[in-house]
Structure 1
Amino acid sequence: MKDWPLLLETTQLAEMLYDPKLLILDTSSAANYAEHHIPGAVHIAPSELQGGIKPAVGKLPSIEALNILFAKVGLTPDTHVVAYDDEGGGWAGRLIWTLDVIGHRNYSYLNGGLHAWLDEGHPSEQVANHPAPTKQDIAIDSLAIAEIEDFISMLDNNQLAIWDARSAEEYRGEKVLAQRGGHIPGAINLDWLELIDRNNHMRLKDLTSLQAKLNELGITADKTIITHCQTHHRSGLSYLLMKILGYPHIKGYHGSWGEWGNIDTTPIETGDHPQPSAQKP
């Protein structure tokens, strides 16, 4: 089990589906879980991965809520988690970020999630799975967490890159989902949807091409990368991609634009940000 890859293909999961140390966690919608899910999969509602307190609804739930959640799904220290969703990786990535935050790093992401699994004819079931609860005593590992006070004074630091995974319209300030619209000064915009191959059952696009795109944008592995969206849901996928690509220093800004855009004093830019390739002498 220790050699199972972070990026897991459907055929690999099919071969190890009934391994007793496997915990398959489904972060699809409740309707999709009820209609069809991978045999043995346990459902986590996406809302259970977020605190839900306005305006920054995407912030991490309380330790008490996390203890209840991971006890309910039966997580143990030696459990190998397989995370998947029904949308191409946003919620599964948010779950993997949450596992990093609680110090559980024994996990895989099912490439393509429910779409790939069903499209390729693998078995599904409708019965809900409720494992025996486990005891939890969660401690937060802050290495994967970006808080506004950690980096607001470091926006000019060239060893820091901020990946804004929202749409271009949100980034430019044309579509406003907070008190103020725009983006964090210096942030680089790459929409999370650009990472998903809709012609290949919602799998990630070719990793070599994605790495080349990140390098071109200046989101490089030698920097500390902070990723965010509106609620750190879409940026769950950008965080996950960087994990898969082996980036050593990545953080999720769980306050995201729901926090930044609702504070009167945070610096904000609007319009397009010039990309590094356009700044070469």
Structure 2
Amino acid sequence: MDYGTLISVEDLRDLLAGGTDVLLLDCEFDLGAPEKGRQIHAAGHLPGACYAHLDQDLAGTPDGTNGRHPLPDRERFAAWLRGIGLSRGQQVVAYDSNGGAWAARAWWLLRWMGHRPVAVLDGGKPAWAASGLPLETGTPLQRSTGDFVPGEPRVGAPVNAADVLANVSSHEAQVLDARDPSRYRGEPNPLDPVAGHIPGAKNRFFRDNLGSDGRFRPAAELAAAFTVLLEGRPAVLQCGSGVTACHNALAMEIAGLTGARLYPGSWSEWISDPARPVATGEG
């Protein structure tokens, strides 16, 4: 059995205890202090986990017009995955301590690369530690190079700014904004030099996908929430820079709602062109 959306702490524990070679990706990150995640990783991570840096490993190079976290080059990303030991068909489990906010980006990227067995640890490192399971410190031993090769994407094709601009008029798809409600409404925020949202977008704050225990809500509950928002339209998912939008992509996949498409540039790309329209308020 492999895991393609979520994996519980208990199931991951059993896989590791049974000798399954799982590639663990520690995706800790702090937008305000980009090296803090690496420090947290060194202070305590799941045994054998590799660190995946959001800026350096899980994104390409921003140029001022393509958003803060553009998609990485596929071949470069594939080489990085091989370098940390990924082989074809190997189970990958990504985690963080922020409700899956960063781990979901790794999950989406692996699926974009055609890899099927990739899951997010439900509850993340806090749930692992709360179960009394061990953490290790320092840097894990170097893994042998893997044989991973990219395949056909297992996610909907990403959309670009021109697609989203055309959709402002056609409204054929429903754009869902994963940012917190205050940023969506257009209240001042240091991350957004221009405040507001894409006209026609609805707000689905990614944290609403989680229960009070930090784990994802049940599939039926997620399906009901997204179905109301979409009103029968296909979904285009965005956030500030195409990262927490992947959390909504994961939640929809858990809910059995497939085909959502990511707008990787998201708000940080959208506002790089002052000609693109901006809305404020509740939408």
Q: Which TM-score tier does this pair reach, normalised by the shorter chain? A: 0.7 to 0.9
Match of 1:133 among 122, 128, 145: 145
Pairing 1:212–2:221 present: no
Q: Cα offset for 1:63?
A: 3.0
Letter in 2 for 1:237: H
Match of 1:72 among 83, 89, 98: 83
Pairing 1:192–2:200 present: no
CA 1:23–1:136: 2 relative to 1, 3 Å: closer
Provide the aligned C-alpha RMSD in A. 2.2
**Aligned twin of 1:32:** 40
Letter in 1 for 2:5: L
Within-5 A mapping of 1:39-58: 39-47=47-55, 48-55=57-64, 56-58=67-69
Instruction: Tell me the distance in 2 between the aligned counterparts of 1:110 and 1:270.
Output: 35
Q: Cα offset for 1:179?
A: 4.5
**Aligned twin of 2:262:** 252
SS of residue paired to 1:88: coil
CA 1:156–1:246: 2 relative to 1, 3 Å: farther
SS of residue paired to 2:102: helix
Q: Cα offset for 1:13?
A: 0.8
Pairing 1:147–2:156 present: no
Question: Is the 1:21–1:78 Cα contact (8 Å) retained in structure 2?
Answer: no
Q: Cα offset for 1:135?
A: 4.5
**Aligned twin of 2:9:** 10
Letter in 1 for 2:62: I
Return 249-258 or 140-149, whichever deviates more. 140-149
Letter in 2 for 1:214: F
Return 41-50 or 252-261, whichever deviates more. 41-50
TM-score normalized with structure 2 length: 0.86
Match of 1:239 among 218, 236, 249: 249
CA 1:60–1:53: 2 relative to 1, 3 Å: same
Greater strand fraction, Structure 1 or Structure 2: 1
Identity rate, percent: 28
SS of residue paired to 1:109: strand
**Aligned twin of 1:171:** 184
Instruction: Tell me the distance in 1 between the aligned counterparts of 2:220 and 2:152.
Output: 33
Match of 2:135 among 124, 131, 140: 124
Q: Cα offset for 1:139?
A: 6.1
Instruction: Tell me the distance in 2 between the aligned counterparts of 1:5 and 1:61.
Output: 22
Pairing 1:98–2:109 present: yes
CA offsets per residue over residues 216-246 of structure 1, 9 Å max, x none?
3x236x5321111111122221111111111
Pairing 1:23–2:23 present: yes
Return 233-242 or 119-128, whichever deviates more. 119-128
Aligned length: 268
**Aligned twin of 1:279:** none
SS of residue paired to 2:230: coil
Question: Is the 1:180–1:262 Cα contact (8 Å) retained in structure 2?
Answer: no
Instruction: Tell me the distance in 2 between the aligned counterparts of 1:99 and 1:59.
Output: 15
Question: Is the 1:66–1:138 Cα contact (8 Å) retained in structure 2?
Answer: no
CA offsets per residue over residues 58-106 of structure 1, 9 Å max, x none?
1112234313321222112211111111110111110111112111122
- In structure 1, stretches of 5+ residues that fail to align are 274-281
**Aligned twin of 1:276:** none
**Aligned twin of 2:31:** none
- In structure 2, stretches of 5+ residues that fail to align are 29-36
SS of residue paired to 2:279: coil
**Aligned twin of 1:183:** 197
**Aligned twin of 1:270:** 280
Question: Is the 2:241–2:268 Cα contact (8 Å) retained in structure 1?
Answer: yes
